[in-house]
Amino acid sequence: MKLVSATSMLLIALALATPAGAANQYETIDYYIQQMIAHSSADDVTGVQTFREQLENLRRPETEDSARARPLRQQGSEQLARNNFKEALAAFRQAFIADPADPETAGQLSLAYLRLHRLKEAERLAVYALSLAPTQSATWLTLGEVYGQTGDATRAGGAFANAYRFAKDPVPIAEQLQRLTIANNAAAIQTGAQKALQLGQPVNFKSSPLSSAPTPPPTTASPSGTDPPPPSPVTSARTETLGQRIYRQSIPLTCLIITFRNGKTDNLGSGLLVSSDGLIITNNHVIDKADNLAVRCGERESTASVRKRSKEPDLALLATSLNSKERFVLNEAYSQDLIGRDVFVIGNPYGLEGTFSTGVISGLREIDGVRYIQISAPVSPGNSGGPVILSDGSVIGIAAMGLKMGQNLNFAIASAEVIASSLFDPARMKSQPLGGNH
């Protein structure tokens, strides 16, 4: 099928362009872990969850000789408890070689390296362990200590905050963080731990007895354990996150647009369903040279025809046969209040269908009389025409372009501009003000 083959070819080309060597595998997981740390350090829970999900979607190594690994791990733990770090390292290493798919073994091996001040090895093993289990609190603690010992208080804080955020039982982790803020620890560890105690509290855990509040509020878990414990971060993570909800609701309404020219596939882009009778908005530059058009929104496919188009603003309206109960609602807002709000972008960069990314609104720009929303969410060729979504699910802009120089300087045509254009049909499309419901 043409749709599939065009996408597949792009994916193949992409795979060929990026050799999947041993080093690359580590770089990929390290990138995601560093993103989790950076978002954690900025107290961006959504960002942390997004990259956690990316890690959880990676292919896992298969469990190998776990029967052989188990006693070796036990032996390692005993040696570690006796401060026999070299012996612990030897045992954990053998356990890891026997079964490298066990995140706890990898995490313990990392800890043994840390205790021996072999920080590079400790970091690599901790990153690897977290790629297997991104919510493993103990390993985040180890990684935080590693960064603290290298003097990197920012990353230490981000990693410690994740340890706290993902703790099944936050109380002992908070106690451990408290201990790290004092005593003989490196200054960066102390600073990082202090920051984590402020940042890392899970969303539903504002009233922890070990939070920075001097006296515990009466609703917290008592030492006797008679009161119900506060909701653990793991429990809250099991419920749908905002990013997950936006993705689930938006993906069936986000379209891959394929253009054909002289009988061949010519271009790929994105679009969004805006009416119940199958009208799709995209960028004019996506479709301007096409002889024929095909679209896929979620699982459904259709041919498409150009209903309206304009060069400035760079917009096009396509008619398809994709009737749908659900449709995107355009948000009319275009004011300074938008700056700093979280945005979510879905599109098909380089044919990678349904790629989901996050960022914030960085600014409002008017270029050649057209109103743009500047966003920090990653956008690449193929995202053009796709929706930029606010946390209420409404569309605030249509991804249109990015600056090649600099980083994450991307622009979406403001939905306000779409609503003001001749493309907008109030009888068939829906708009709302900022904070409105749809």
Partner 1 sequence: MTKSVSCSFLTPRILFPIHPMQVVACFLAALLLAASIFPPVTIAQTSEQSRYYVQQMLELAATNNDHGVTTVQQILEQNPKPRPTNPTGARAAFQIGLTALGQNQLETALGAFQQASQADPSNVEAVNYLGLVQRKLNRFQEAESALQQALALEPTRSVAWFQLAQVYGLQSDARRAVGALANTYRYAQNPMRAEEILRNIAENETSDTLRNAAIETLRLFHLPVETTLIPPLSPNPGIAPIDTLSGSTRPLSNGQTP
Note the residues at the interface with partner 1 (CB under 8 A).
19, 21-23, 25-26, 61, 93, 96-97, 100, 106, 109, 118, 120-121, 124-125, 128
Shortest distance in whole angstroms from residue 33 CB to partner 1: 13
Q: Which residues of 269-278 are buried (b: 16+ CB within 10 A; e: fewer)?
A: bbbbbbbeeb
Whether the bond into 313 is cis, omega within 30 of 0: yes
Q: Which is nearer to partner 1, 26 or 260 (CB)?
A: 26
Sign of dihedral through CA atoms 191, 194, 197, 199? negative
CA distance 375 to 399: 9
Shortest distance in whole angstroms from residue 382 CB to partner 1: 24
Q: Which is nearer to partner 1, 93 or 309 (CB)?
A: 93
Helix (H, G, I), strand (E, B) or coil at 55: helix
Q: Which is nearer to partner 1, 96 or 344 (CB)?
A: 96
28's CB contacts (< 8 A; 6+ apart) are 58
Sign of dihedral through CA atoms 91, 94, 96, 99? negative
Please name the helix (run of DSSP H) or strand (run of DSSP E) that holds residue 177, with its range, or none: helix 170-180
Shortest distance in whole angstroms from residue 109 CB to partner 1: 8
Shortest distance in whole angstroms from residue 350 CB to partner 1: 21
Q: What is the gyration radius of the CA atoms in the chain, in angstroms? A: 25
Shortest distance in whole angstroms from residue 93 CB to partner 1: 6
398-359-362 Cα angle (round to 5): 75
Shortest distance in whole angstroms from residue 122 CB to partner 1: 9
Q: Which is nearer to partner 1, 124 or 296 (CB)?
A: 124
Cross-strand pairs, 282: 316
CA distance 332 to 335: 10
- Write down the H helix ranges in 271-366: 284-287
Place of tokens 């009208």: 279
287's CB contacts (< 8 A; 6+ apart) are 257, 259, 267, 269, 293, 306, 309, 316, 318
Shortest distance in whole angstroms from residue 123 CB to partner 1: 9
Q: Which is nearer to partner 1, 88 or 316 (CB)?
A: 88
Q: Which is nearer to partner 1, 19 or 225 (CB)?
A: 19
Shortest distance in whole angstroms from residue 35 CB to partner 1: 19
Q: Which is nearer to partner 1, 22 or 183 (CB)?
A: 22
CA atoms within 13 A on the CB side of 187: 1
Q: Which is nearer to partner 1, 66 or 391 (CB)?
A: 66
Q: Which is nearer to partner 1, 30 or 169 (CB)?
A: 30
Cross-strand pairs, 317: 281, 308
Cβ count within 10 A of residue 131 = 22
Shortest distance in whole angstroms from residue 159 CB to partner 1: 19
344's CB contacts (< 8 A; 6+ apart) are 243, 246, 247, 250, 356, 357, 358, 377, 388, 389, 390, 391
Cross-strand pairs, 306: 318
Shortest distance in whole angstroms from residue 26 CB to partner 1: 7
Cross-strand pairs, 428: none
Q: Which is nearer to partner 1, 76 or 100 (CB)?
A: 100
